[in-house]
Structure 1
Amino acid sequence: MTAPHAPRATTRDQDAPALSVAVVAALPQTAPPLVEALGTLGHRVPVVVGYRRPVDWPGHVLGEHDLPPGVDLAVPSRADAVTAILRAYAVDVAVSYGYPRKLPAAAVSAPRLGTINCHPSDLPSYRGPNPVGWAVRNGERSIGVTWHRMDAELDTGSVLARTTIPLSDGLWSFTGVNTRVLEAASAMLPQVLRRLVSGDPGEPQPRREGSWAGFFTEDYATVDWSAKATDIHTQVRAWNIAGHHSRVQGPVAVIDGTRWRLRRTTLDRPPAGTGRRITCGTGDLWVLAADALD
């Protein structure tokens, strides 16, 4: 799997010192581009803190072969071990991106300048592990990208930079969304690191009511063919963008007595001989890709 490249045009602010930065990221789609972006800015990444592969994980997790020479990979067995790793490498700052485990407060404060996190939402909206999945489910046409200081809670720290990117209908996978989020996040890194070095605390998150974007549950896992075709299409796209979930599998639909996990659908009639047309409660939907479960 080839990781997306971070933008190369950005260079380090010559007035900002070179930093020693730990990257805290679990996937080959996320850690290598961040290492590259930080190196392009003139900073050094001595270590990437990865994540132990779950037994039921279907894809590739970050391995040492994904990282450039001179960058160590540490795979802690427990969350509290992250603290010891960051202290051992004595980094100036830790940069977290999509890490599937909540970091303890001691780990967050271990680097000299603290720990920052990139979250793909306009915080405080869609805090939690599944922000883009919920944005798709709710019909959002754009998503936020927010760099914030990490604190003892989840996605609540003060904001250092934010932007908005379109959430186009053509995005159907975590990797597709992640590529665009990383591009936006990398472009903001110089500003974010400059604020850290200057001791800028950032802005508290807005006082507006936040929302929680947890993993999808059983109530959204089964396809009801009597529903609107547009709603089912959205359900399929939301699940596929949300990615792997070890506890609940979806979206599951019954076609000709067989259970399928739907991977791709379309509301527009595809070329002849392509897909399976399903008449829904309102409108037609074509199933383009699915995995048999029975």
Structure 2
Amino acid sequence: MTALATTHAGTTPDTPPLRVAVVAALPQTAPPLVEALQALGHQVPVVIGFRRPPDWPGHVLGEHDLPPGVDLAIPSAPERVGELLRAYCPDAAVSYGYPRRLPAAAVTAPRLGTVNCHPSDLPAYRGPNPVGWAVRNGEREIGVTWHRMDAELDTGAVLARTRIPLDPSVWSFTGVNTLVLKAAAAMLPHVLGRLAREEAGEPQTAEAGGWAGFFGEDYATVDWSAPAAHIHTQVRAWNIAGHHPRCEGPVAVIDGTRWRLRRTTLDRPPTGTGRRIACGTGDLWVLAADPLG
């Protein structure tokens, strides 16, 4: 998918090879970043991963996910990230999707600083669930922003940004992540060039961008009296948002049994596929769901 309305100028052949650490927790995020950096001629000495929480439902990054010559370091706590980065003496660090805020000692450990990729047009949708909220709000495209990291969350100066379509056929974090990383990788030459030139970047606008936190109980239960289109959006937003450690959704009751809805459609599927539900306005077909105890 082609990135739209980019604010960067493409490649920067004058950028010297850099030692770039990657800070990323998932096998869907770290390997593509490593590959993109190496393809640009930069060295990736280490990926800073994340210790698997007891309630984590999916996979976390493992050493088998990384190419030869790239170390994987798992800090015992976020406060250890800076120490690990300093041990590898990187020129810069790039972060995407790390599930904890990095302390100042980590952000400033690389010689040229640390940059983060955030899937929104900052300052809009700051926080851990930007794409989920974009879907919930009916957005048809999302931003992708590379920004310097500072003491706060998603507030640092912008080095590059673009916008990409929010494909309605994409229903998972992994699907959105693939599109975001493609756009982010295309901006990396410009971002690293600006870092090498020690450019500060453009401060984010002072306007309130809105906080994109995890969905809560107020959005977790499906109300079949609502319009079918509203419920369809709710199901997609929850599934793109992914794992939530404290709240499960969207939960619906069908024939007296509680289900977590995974996939729905507003269009009649082939005969024998899905379960039709009459909603407050229109019909919705449930294509996939998990029973809840």
Which TM bucket (shorter chain)?
A: over 0.9
Offset from partner CA, 1:244-271 (integer Å, 9 cap, x none):
1111000000000100000000000000
- Which residue in the other structure is 2:139 paired with? 140
Cα deviations across residues 210-238 of structure 1 (Å, max 9, x unaligned)?
11000000000000001110000000000
Q: Alignment partner of 1:160: what SS? A: strand
- Give the match for residue 247 of structure 2: 248
**Aligned counterpart, 1:287:** 286
CA contact (8 A) 1:12 1:42 kept: no
Query: What secondary structure, in the 3-state scheme, does the structure 2 residue paired with 1:290 have?
Result: strand
- Counterpart for residue 150 of structure 1: 149
Shift of 1:16: 1.2
Could you tell me which residue of structure 2 aligns to residue 266 of structure 1?
265
1:113-128 aligned within 5 A: 113-128=112-127
> 1:12–1:41: 8 Å Cα contact kept in structure 2?
no
- Cα distance in structure 2, aligned partners of 1:168 and 1:148: 24
- Contact in 2 for aligned 1:278/1:287 (Cα 8 Å): yes
What CA distance in whole angstroms lies between the structure 1 residues aligned with 2:248 and 2:44? 36
Rounded Cα–Cα distance in structure 2 between residues aligned with 1:13 and 1:162: 16
**How much does 1:12 deviate?**
6.6
Which has the bigger relative contact order, CA under 8 A and spacing at least 6?
Answer: 2
The CA deviation string for residues 34-88 of structure 1, in whole angstroms up to 9 with x for no partner, is 0000000000000000001111111111000000000000011111100100111
CA-to-aligned-CA distance 1:124-172 (integer Å, 9 cap, x gap): 0000000000000000000000000000000000000000000021110
Aligned-pair RMSD on alpha carbons?
A: 0.9
Structure 2 SS opposite 1:112: coil
Q: Which amino acid aligns with 1:204?
A: P
- 2:214 counterpart of 1:215: yes
Q: Distance in 2 between matches of 1:156 and 1:235?
A: 28
Match of 1:19 in 2: 18
- Partner Cα distance (1:232, 1:12) in 2: 43
Aligned equivalents of 2:52 and 2:244: distance in 1? 13
Q: Secondary structure in 1 aligned to 2:45? A: strand
Q: Match of 1:242, as an amino acid? A: A
d(CA) in 1 for partners of 2:257, 2:34: 45
| CA 242–54 in structure 1, closer or farther in 2 if over 3 Å, else same | same
1:87 aligns with 86
Which residue of the partner structure matches residue 178 of structure 1? 177
Letter in 1 for 2:55: D
Equivalence for 1:32: 31
Query: 1:189 aligned to 2:188?
Result: yes
| Distance in 2 separating the partners of 1:100 and 1:54 | 11
Is the contact made by 2:11 and 2:190 (CA closer than 8 Å) also made in structure 1?
no
1:7 aligns to what? none
Partner Cα distance (1:64, 1:109) in 2: 26
Residues of 2 paired with 1:211 and 1:125: CA distance? 6
Are 1:44 and 2:43 an aligned pair? yes
Please name the residue that 2:226 is paired with: 227
Shift of 1:208: 2.3
Q: Helix, strand or coil: the match of 1:45? A: coil
**How many residues end up aligned between the 2 structures?**
284
TM-score normalized by structure 2? 0.96
Tell me which stretches of 4 or more aligned residues in structure 1 moved more than 2 Å: 11-14
Deviation per residue, 1:146-202 (Å, 9 max, x gap):
000000000000000000000021110001000000000000000000001111100
TM (norm. structure 1) is: 0.95
SS at match of 2:78: coil
Residue 205 of structure 2 corresponds to 206
Q: Secondary structure of 1:268's partner? A: coil
Q: Give distance in 2, aligned partners of 1:199 and 1:75.
A: 29
Residues in 1 aligned to 2:56 and 2:275: alpha-carbon distance in whole angstroms: 29
Question: In the alignment, is the contact (CA less than 8 A) between 1:12 and 1:40 conserved in 2?
Answer: no
| Whole-Å separation in 2 of the counterparts to 1:99 and 1:194 | 23
